[in-house]
């Protein structure tokens, strides 16, 4: 009976990922699927990839941060200047320095969707929509029409990511839509729902179909994660540390813009892009 761990939005937090993989092993998980954003924002993208190599995921799709690697590599220094683009440039350069060539190329070449057949079920993985890996169209409170757009085609189950919120709902055609939440940057809107635990999901499937859906939250040493980020000189450390301390989202465009100005990061990003283009 397959037991599949759904891993998403790890964001370079190997401390959290290690705790999740230990929990998955204790639950006798037999397979692992990743749904994007394995890297970026956290300090240990290469170690995350090494940990994933140990469990041999059989499905993996592109996240918006892996897509940012592609965008940065082909960016025009004169136009790639929005606050989040500056951040993407600097964090891509940081990850590029630590990731092995094999892992960096692997992340660049991830597909936008992957479809798996397990027992009687057709299951599609995608970071947001089948043809779009970013944006807020599938935030938990968005319109039903958006979720119907996410389930185009004939999958029985669609698994997506990006929102950092565990979700279970249906399309108007009855397709099941699941989101495991986030391993690396746990957040919630309401203070009472915030907790410093990594989120993931286990699907148990038998010959008759979906037997169990287990949304799991796993304790990890978030203080150690901040210490590792500090020791490794993680760019935008203030945002990462505050997210792990408060479990509230920190990376708003206005906050990032102010941080870029304060630390003169536009010039740094431009220099990175000029070097890439030379």
- For residue 244, the domain's CATH number is 3.60.21.10
- State the average pLDDT over residues 12-23: 98
Strands (E), 112-265: 113-118, 121-126, 157-160, 166-170, 176-180, 197-206, 209-219
Q: What is the mean pLDDT of residues 123-135?
A: 97
Q: How far apart, in whole angstroms, are the C-alpha atoms of residue 12 and residue 49? A: 9
* Average pLDDT score over residue span 6-35: 98
Q: Positive or negative CA dihedral for 115, 117, 122, 128? A: negative
Average pLDDT in the chain: 97
Residue 61 has pLDDT above 70, yes or no: yes
Q: Is 8 exposed, middle or buried (0-12, 13-18, 19+ CB in 10 A)?
A: buried
Predicted pLDDT at 93: 97
Q: In terms of residue numbers, what domain contains 185?
A: 3-277
Q: Which pLDDT score is estimated for 278?
A: 57
Count of domains observed in the chain = 1
């Amino acid at each position: 009976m397959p037991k599949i761990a759904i891993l998403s939005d790890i964001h370079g937090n190997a401390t959290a990922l290690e705790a999740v993989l230990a929990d998955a092993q204790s639950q006798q998980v037999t397979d692992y699927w990743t749904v994007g954003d394995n890297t970026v924002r956290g300090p240990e993208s290469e170690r995350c990839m090494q940990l994933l190599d140990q469990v041999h995921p059989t499905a993996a799709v592109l996240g918006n941060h892996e897509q940012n690697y592609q965008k940065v590599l082909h960016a025009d220094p004169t136009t790639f200047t929005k606050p989040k683009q500056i951040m993407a440039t600097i964090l891509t350069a940081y990850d590029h320095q630590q990731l092995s060539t094999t892992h960096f190329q692997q992340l660049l070449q991830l597909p936008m969707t992957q479809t798996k057949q397990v027992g009687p079920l057709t299951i599609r993985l995608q970071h947001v929509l089948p043809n779009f890996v970013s944006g807020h169209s599938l935030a938990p409170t968005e319109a039903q029409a958006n979720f119907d757009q996410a389930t185009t085609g004939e999958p029985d189950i669609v698994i997506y990511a990006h929102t950092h919120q565990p979700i279970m709902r249906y399309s108007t055609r009855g397709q099941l839509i699941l989101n495991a939440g986030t391993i690396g940057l746990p957040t919630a809107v309401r203070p009472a729902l915030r907790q410093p635990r990594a989120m993931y999901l286990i699907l148990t499937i038998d010959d008759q179909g979906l037997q169990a859906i287990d949304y799991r939250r796993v304790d990890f040493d978030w203080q150690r994660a901040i210490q590792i980020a500090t020791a490794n000189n993680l760019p935008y450390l203030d945002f990462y540390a505050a997210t792990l301390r408060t479990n509230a989202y920190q990376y708003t465009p206005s906050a990032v813009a102010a941080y870029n100005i304060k630390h003169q990061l536009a010039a740094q990003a431009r220099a990175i892009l000029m070097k890439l283009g030379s």
